[in-house]
Chains A and B, each alone.
Chain A
Amino acid sequence: MNEHVKITIDDREVKARPGQKLLWAALENDIFIPHLCAIEAEKRPNASCRLCFVEIEGVPNPVTSCTKTVEDGMVVKTRSSRVDRLVKTAFELLLSDHDLKCRECPANRNCALQTIAKERGLKLRQKRFTPVARNYETDDSPEEFAFNRSRCVLCGQCVWADRRENKIGVIGFAKRGINRVVTTFQDLPLAESICKECTVCVDVCPVGALYYKEPEE
């Protein structure tokens, strides 16, 4: 059995492990593909952020690279007009539901959304969609960190980290559709929940929704 498979991404031949998903093969070879929800260790890809579209030769429509297993000889393009259109729309949809006050955000300059915008030449101030009105209050009940839901893009990284760290999960997804949120049992403030402030969730948040408080001066 081969130890690796050879694939071509954007005219570059790269090696990937058999069974590996295309997204990770590209990232390991420093080829950027936008993504927020992907977790390599997860058995079944989440495939919810819809940002990692690529074109594969012989496949009629763009596919998400996080769900596609590499195959020997696969020829991949990370950009095409169709891919760019889908990525732009998905990105702008996410931004329409994201608090865009970057200067006030602790993740400023270290934010996955800013990276995607820079890499793909997309604007953070999208004009097509009216921003979704939210009136979430920031939960700053924990001692070390806080949770500002209006920045949350529902990627699920925090829920995954919480479940790996804690036998009984503290946070999870609740509600449905446009009201979907990451929350605690009964929407309790974190400090009143079973949260032990292990902060693994804060470490994985890509957009500054979960963030460490500034030490008080």
Chain B
Amino acid sequence: MSGSNPLELYNKMLKEARAEIESKENRARVLVGTATCGVSAGALKIKEDFNREIKEKSLDVDVIEVGCMGHCYAEPLAVIAKPGYPPVCYGYLDDGLVHRLVEDFLDGDDPSYEYALAALERNDVFPTFEDFPRGVYEKKLILEKCGYIDARDIKGYIARDGYSAMAKALTGEPHQVLEEVKAANLRGRGGAGFPAGIKWEACMNGGAEEKYVICNADEGDPGAFMDRSILESDPHLVIEGMILCAYAIGAQKGYLYIRAEYPRAVGHVQEAIDQARAKGLLGNSILGSEFDFDLEIFQGSGAFVCGEATALVNSMEGKMGMPESRPPRLASQGFRGKPTILNNVKTFAYVPFIINRGADWFKGIGTEESPGTAVFSLVGKVTNTGLVEVPMGTTLRQLIYDVGDGLPNDKEFKAVQIGGPSGGCLPESALDVPIDFDSLHDAGAIMGSGGLVVMDEDDCMAAVARYFLEFTQHESCGKCTFCRLGTKHMLDILNDITRGEGDAETLGLLKELAEDVRDGSLCNLGKTAPNPVLTTLEYFYEEYKAHLEEGRCPALVCRDLILYYIEPPKCSKLCNVCVGSCPTEAIFTRDDGLKEIDQEKCVKCDNCLKACPPEYNAIVKLSPPVLPPEKEKKAK
């Protein structure tokens, strides 16, 4: 034993980290956002471009990879921090812009504000993200450091007081951590919102010597990516939260269950674990204390159902990811039959804040019943897509119109889908619902893990319900009757509806079956799978009816109920763009020079409609799929 106390050891570490980071910050730096979303927009090439341009000019500038700042709509983006100027974020980068920024700003002294999105620090020259309209609503806690620090260097995290909550906790008693989390009323961010402190207490009292802490990073909801982003951008925050949990309940071993589709997150977390271990922040006698705890990654193998607690544990034990009936709960009998805490990435990420700043501070954010913030991935038909963090209690309208800046292309709002395949579609009338666990549940949706997809007038609600059912049916583990066969028959019925097949009884049967699957399924995947169907039936019944009674898809989406048609008066005759765009050679030039679509050959891929120049706009979709009588033909 070294005899020194954890806080002393930590403070030494902090001082060193700060000194090193500060010396780096005294030089010009380029921070390129290279989370998976940035990479898909070409961020790695942008990084190369910066390196090349900087080398050509022989500048002394570091180019560093950072995570995601949440402004995904402007990817690829980078921050240039040059001493003497506020750090500035630039979006929509390409090689030309990189060249210009290096030449004018890094080599010269013109920050090229005309290309800047925002500054990151308050200054007299250029507005910051907080000055945006969305700044009023945003409150960044767990996303605070995402995109601002080098996720692959532990010192960046430490220099911003990272691991200080852990050092503080280690000088006190485990029950103090538990009491603080309980007092904060931190509710689990995985979906249902069960209070984490109560779970932890049950686990602490679970009796056994051996206990486990597992982080559920099997983010399977299509349309949600905040867990990936946090793990890629600020992995140590989650690790610190897990260590605090382990200390509180007396666990010696923890696992991060990360889905296979997130290779970058796996890489960053593994590096973070290794670095933490090397610094004595993980492993035996953490920070010289008597507390031992170590972490390992378990990679999922692609099964949505493994987001379900019991299925996740089964899969970690080398079995099929099948849910089990509960009780017993994991807190008493979990991994290897031992008391286990399973919490979501975001739940753990809040813990260091709560320990550092206290339960009262945490409860000062959000609502009484749902304290803290909510993190959403805002996607779909919304102008500013990306990651957002707002206090609980913010309304959906504020989130979509103020933070997300509304819908693009002057389209009309139709619905917002919250909570992925387990959630529901809420209409315009529900936009003033405050975002918290209970209000969303009452409205028919769920908080879920935080996917929020905005839909406009061009989206068909029957098709959306069909999409989600196809997903859950494909991901159903097949163990219990209701989910295995119920989702199959629901999908069959929805397939019929989107083809206009069915009668008055069809919608009644669909609703009946959906309710029974909800009430009769074994696990939460099955119990919540009907939500997209039940909410769309409730709020968009007329749209379903139009499919069945008129063979019409009002949103012009369902391909069996629409056809593509070139309006003769609008067609230019001289332009051949549509003919070239068609992958099946369905468009031909008639004797009179007009273009026409051979309906037999058309696969309704939408290419021609997108290709037709806006000045003509000659191609339309018609539903029901009936060609209008042709006047020209008569003239011929």
**Nearest-Cβ distance from residue B421 to partner chain A, whole angstroms:** 13
Query: In chain B, residues 273-331, which have Cβ atoms closer than 8 Å to a Cβ of chain A?
Result: 303, 320, 324-325
Chain A at the B interface: SS class: loop
8 Å CB contact of B520 from A50, A176, A177: A50
Q: Which of B117-125, B342-350, B481-489, B583-591 contacts A (4 or more CB under 8 A)?
A: B481-489
Q: B479 interface residue, CB < 8 Å from A?
A: yes
Q: Which of A2-10, A59-67, A141-149, A203-211 contacts B (4 or more CB under 8 A)?
A: A59-67
**Nearest-Cβ distance from residue B339 to partner chain A, whole angstroms:** 17
Q: A175 interface residue, CB < 8 Å from B?
A: yes
Closest to A172 in B: B320
Query: In chain A, residues 66-92, which have Cβ atoms closer than 8 Å to a Cβ of chain B?
Result: 67, 82, 85-86, 89-90
What's the Cα separation between A55 and B320 when bound, in Å?
31
Contact status A50-B521, CB under 8 Å: yes
Q: Which of A53, A96, A130, A177 has the most CB of B within 10 A?
A: A177
Q: Which of A23-31, A41-49, A102-110 contacts B (4 or more CB under 8 A)?
A: A41-49
8 Å CB contact of B325 from A47, A90, A94, A173: A47
**Nearest-Cβ distance from residue A171 to partner chain B, whole angstroms:** 14
Closest to B496 in A: A130
What's the Cα separation between A180 and B479 when bound, in Å?
8
Contact status B482-A93, CB under 8 Å: yes
Contact with A along B337-360 (1 / 0, CB 8 A): 000000000000000000000000
Residues of B within 8 A of A173 (CB): 320
Contact status B509-A128, CB under 8 Å: yes
Contact status A86-B484, CB under 8 Å: no
Contact status A176-B303, CB under 8 Å: yes
8 Å CB contact of A90 from B303, B509, B520: B520
Residues of B within 8 A of A61 (CB): 519
Contact status B477-A50, CB under 8 Å: no
Q: B458 interface residue, CB < 8 Å from A?
A: no
Closest to B486 in A: A93
**Nearest-Cβ distance from residue A65 to partner chain B, whole angstroms:** 12
The number of chain A residues with a CB under 8 A from chain B is: 33
Residues of A within 8 A of B476 (CB): 176-178
Q: A117 interface residue, CB < 8 Å from B?
A: no
Q: If the complex has contacts A67-B325, A173-B320, are A48 and B520 also in contact, measured as CB distance less than 8 A? A: no
Contact status B481-A178, CB under 8 Å: no
Query: In chain B, residues 504-547, which have Cβ atoms closer than 8 Å to a Cβ of chain A?
Result: 509, 512-513, 516, 519-522
Contact status A129-B481, CB under 8 Å: no
8 Å CB contact of B522 from A47, A51, A97: A47
Q: If the complex has contacts A89-B516, A132-B485, are A177 and B492 also in contact, measured as CB distance less than 8 A? A: no
Q: A135 interface residue, CB < 8 Å from B?
A: no
Residues of A within 8 A of B482 (CB): 50, 89-90, 93
Closest to A36 in B: B481
Contact with B along A92-126 (1 / 0, CB 8 A): 01101100000000000000000000000000000
What's the Cα separation between A97 and B482 when bound, in Å?
12
**Nearest-Cβ distance from residue A135 to partner chain B, whole angstroms:** 16
Contact status A130-B492, CB under 8 Å: yes
Contact status B325-A175, CB under 8 Å: no
Contact status B485-A86, CB under 8 Å: no
Q: B364 interface residue, CB < 8 Å from A?
A: no
**Nearest-Cβ distance from residue B360 to partner chain A, whole angstroms:** 35
What's the Cα separation between A51 and B521 when bound, in Å?
11
8 Å CB contact of A86 from B320, B487, B520: B520
Q: B475 interface residue, CB < 8 Å from A?
A: yes
Closest to B479 in A: A48
Q: B478 interface residue, CB < 8 Å from A?
A: yes
Q: B473 interface residue, CB < 8 Å from A?
A: yes
Q: If the complex has contacts A130-B489, A177-B475, A178-B485, are A47 and B480 also in contact, measured as CB distance less than 8 A? A: yes
Q: If the complex has contacts A94-B481, A176-B476, are A86 and B516 also in contact, measured as CB distance less than 8 A? A: yes
Closest to A178 in B: B488
Contact status A132-B516, CB under 8 Å: no
Residues of A within 8 A of B478 (CB): 154, 175-180
Contact status B325-A50, CB under 8 Å: no
Q: B474 interface residue, CB < 8 Å from A?
A: yes
Q: Which of B303, B476, B481, B516 has the most CB of A within 10 A?
A: B481
Contact status B484-A178, CB under 8 Å: yes
Contact status B325-A178, CB under 8 Å: no
Chain B at the A interface: SS class: helix
What's the Cα separation between A15 and B340 when bound, in Å?
35
Contact status B519-A62, CB under 8 Å: yes
Closest to A87 in B: B520
Contact status A44-B485, CB under 8 Å: no
Q: If the complex has contacts A47-B522, A177-B475, are A93 and B481 also in contact, measured as CB distance less than 8 A? A: yes
What's the Cα separation between A213 and B513 when bound, in Å?
38
Residues of A within 8 A of B485 (CB): 93-94, 96-97, 129, 132, 178
Q: Which of A50, A53, A61, A129 has the most CB of B within 10 A?
A: A50
8 Å CB contact of B481 from A50, A82, A85, A176: A50
What's the Cα separation between A171 and B223 when bound, in Å?
38
Residues of B within 8 A of A90 (CB): 481-482, 516, 520
What's the Cα separation between A61 and B521 when bound, in Å?
12
Closest to A69 in B: B327
Contact status A177-B474, CB under 8 Å: yes
What's the Cα separation between A180 and B486 when bound, in Å?
14
What's the Cα separation between A67 and B323 when bound, in Å?
14
Residues of B within 8 A of A82 (CB): 519
Query: In chain B, residues 574-612, which have Cβ atoms closer than 8 Å to a Cβ of chain A?
Result: none
What's the Cα separation between A62 and B489 when bound, in Å?
23
What's the Cα separation between A73 and B487 when bound, in Å?
37
Closest to A86 in B: B520
Closest to B303 in A: A176
Contact status B519-A86, CB under 8 Å: yes
**Nearest-Cβ distance from residue A111 to partner chain B, whole angstroms:** 17
Query: In chain B, residues 527-576, which have Cβ atoms closer than 8 Å to a Cβ of chain A?
Result: none
Residues of B within 8 A of A51 (CB): 481
Contact with A along B488-500 (1 / 0, CB 8 A): 1100100000000
Contact status A50-B522, CB under 8 Å: yes
What's the Cα separation between A200 and B636 when bound, in Å?
80
**Nearest-Cβ distance from residue A20 to partner chain B, whole angstroms:** 16
**Nearest-Cβ distance from residue A49 to partner chain B, whole angstroms:** 6
Residues of B within 8 A of A89 (CB): 482, 486, 512-513, 516, 520
Residues of B within 8 A of A130 (CB): 489, 492
Contact status B473-A177, CB under 8 Å: yes
Contact status B516-A178, CB under 8 Å: no
Contact status A49-B481, CB under 8 Å: yes
Contact status A177-B519, CB under 8 Å: no
What's the Cα separation between A173 and B486 when bound, in Å?
20
Closest to B492 in A: A130
Residues of A within 8 A of B324 (CB): 44, 47
The interface of chain B, by Cβ under 8 A from chain A, is: 303, 320, 324-325, 473-482, 484-489, 492, 509, 512-513, 516, 519-522
For this complex, 26 residue pairs linking A to B, each with C-beta atoms less than 8 Å apart, are A47-B480, A48-B480, A48-B481, A49-B481, A50-B522, A61-B519, A82-B519, A86-B516, A89-B486, A89-B513, A90-B481, A93-B485, A94-B485, A96-B489, A97-B485, A129-B485, A154-B478, A154-B484, A176-B476, A176-B478, A177-B475, A177-B477, A178-B484, A178-B485, A178-B488, A180-B478
Taking A48-B479, A50-B522, A64-B325 as given, write out 14 further A-B residue pairs in contact, using a Cβ cutoff of 8 Å, ordered by the A residue number.
Answer: A47-B522, A85-B516, A89-B513, A90-B516, A90-B520, A129-B489, A130-B492, A177-B476, A177-B478, A177-B488, A178-B478, A178-B488, A180-B477, A180-B484
Give the 9 A-B CB pairs with smallest separation, nearest first. Answer: A180-B478, A93-B485, A47-B325, A177-B476, A89-B516, A177-B478, A67-B325, A50-B481, A48-B480
